[in-house]
Amino acid sequence: MTPTPTTPSSTRRAFLRLAAGSVLASPLGSLATAQPAPATPGMHTRLIPSTGEPLPVIGCGTWRTFDVGDDPAGQARLADVLRVLFAAGGSVIDSSPMYGSSEAVAGTLLTRLDAHQKAFVATKVWTQGREAGIAQMEESMRRLQQPRIDLMQIHNLLDWRTQLATLREWKARGRIRYLGITHYTSGAFDEVEAIMRSEKLDFVQIDYSADDREAEERILPLAAERGIGVVINQPFGGGSLLQRLHDRPLPGWAGEIGCTSWAQVLLKFVLAQPAVTCVIPGTGRPDYMIDNVHAGLGEYPDAALRQQIAAAISA
């Protein structure tokens, strides 16, 4: 197993018990009555290559899961998702203007929870043209209720040359802290790789999972070489991988790295890559968030165990 700073198993059990009691047992219909989960020593962090700032390794994606509009029950449930994330030491919340109401919901909840200072807010620009890009980013800031975005990314490389010039201007002016590019499919890796080689980026966000490993051959080594942070989306294969594993018993070797679920195994498989800065599994359920954040504790699989995991997945 890869040596990492370890968190005692008693801390893991205590967090699960206390978070479940204080967050999940609270009335989901009322943001006011739900209490924060007790804090733990915190999940592992990795340094953002361009600045050396530490970033917690488990975040939260908002595609589909945060698109609940003004539904009170949906928003209350998502508030508990964020409480769990922050209590575990996490901070990254990733969204996009193409995710329906997700930006607005995230912004509303961060304000209600008084948690803007706890969050590392990432979103995207996804349009053609300079003026349209500026207007969209201004709207994202309004929806997220953020005076400054931590990470602004060019979604799926759309009009990336135009938008990247604007992002550089905004970064110089302090309106964003970091800039990057994203894509959700390995079919775009040729272009992603070309941009990584030709442009100075803080982050790249790509898909990578135990059953979709092309990134480890090309993108991850290049990111390490170029000093680019990596955010991983779709660590569960877009959900299909977890569905396939749902009824399969967890192998005994999972306990060697402190995993009690397939979700934790899949997340630790991704985090075993040192070039990965943060992984952002999407969820709208507090119990799933509790499960996910435990992948940011303890040890990660070494090369031999990674092969066992990959073999188990392919079987």
Q: What percentage of the chain carries pLDDT values higher than 90? A: 82
Q: Is the pLDDT of residue 31 over 70?
A: no
User: pLDDT tier at 32 (50, 70, 90 boundaries)?
Assistant: very low
Q: How do residues 157-175 score in pLDDT, each as one tens digit? A: 999 999 999 999 999 999 9
Residue 41: predicted pLDDT: 56
Q: How do residues 216-244 score in pLDDT, each as one tens digit? A: 999 999 999 999 999 999 999 867 899 89
What is the average per-residue pLDDT within 208-221?
A: 95
3-class SS string, the chain: CECCCCCCHHHHHHHHHHHHHHHHCCCCCCCCCCCCCCCCCCCCEEECCCCCCEEECECEECCCCCCCCCCHHHHHHHHHHHHHHHHCCCCEEECCCCCCCHHHHHHHHHHHCCCCCCCEEEEEECCCCHHHHHHHHHHHHHHHCCCCEEEEEEHHHCCHHHHHHHHHHHHHHCCEEEEEEECCCHHHHHHHHHHHHHCCCCEEEEECECCECHHHCCHHHHHHHHCCEEEEECCCHHHHHHHHHCCCCCCHHHHHHCCCCHHHHHHHHHHCCCCCCEECCECCCHHHHHHHHHHHCCCECCHHHHHHHHHHHHC
> Environment class of residue 206 by beta-carbon count within 10 Å: exposed (0-12), middle (13-18) or buried (19+)?
buried
User: pLDDT tier at 17 (50, 70, 90 boundaries)?
Assistant: low
Residue 18: predicted pLDDT: 45
Average pLDDT of the chain, as a whole number: 89
Sequence-distant (6+) residues with CB within 8 A of 252 are: none
Q: Higher confidence at residue 106 or residue 4? A: 106
What is the average per-residue pLDDT within 244-265?
A: 95
CATH of domain 44-314: 3.20.20.100
List beta partners, residue 93: 60, 121
Q: Are 295 and 221 in contact (CB under 8 A)?
A: no
Q: How do residues 56-106 score in pLDDT, each as one tens digit? A: 999 999 999 999 999 999 999 999 999 999 999 999 999 999 999 999 999
Q: Compute the distance between CA of residue 124 and CA of residue 285 in angstroms, rounded to an integer.
A: 24
Residue 15: predicted pLDDT: 52
Residue 237: predicted pLDDT: 86
Q: What percentage of the chain carries pLDDT values higher than 70? A: 86
Q: Give the pair of three-digit tokens for residue 300.
A: 């990660």
Q: Is the pLDDT of residue 25 over 90?
A: no
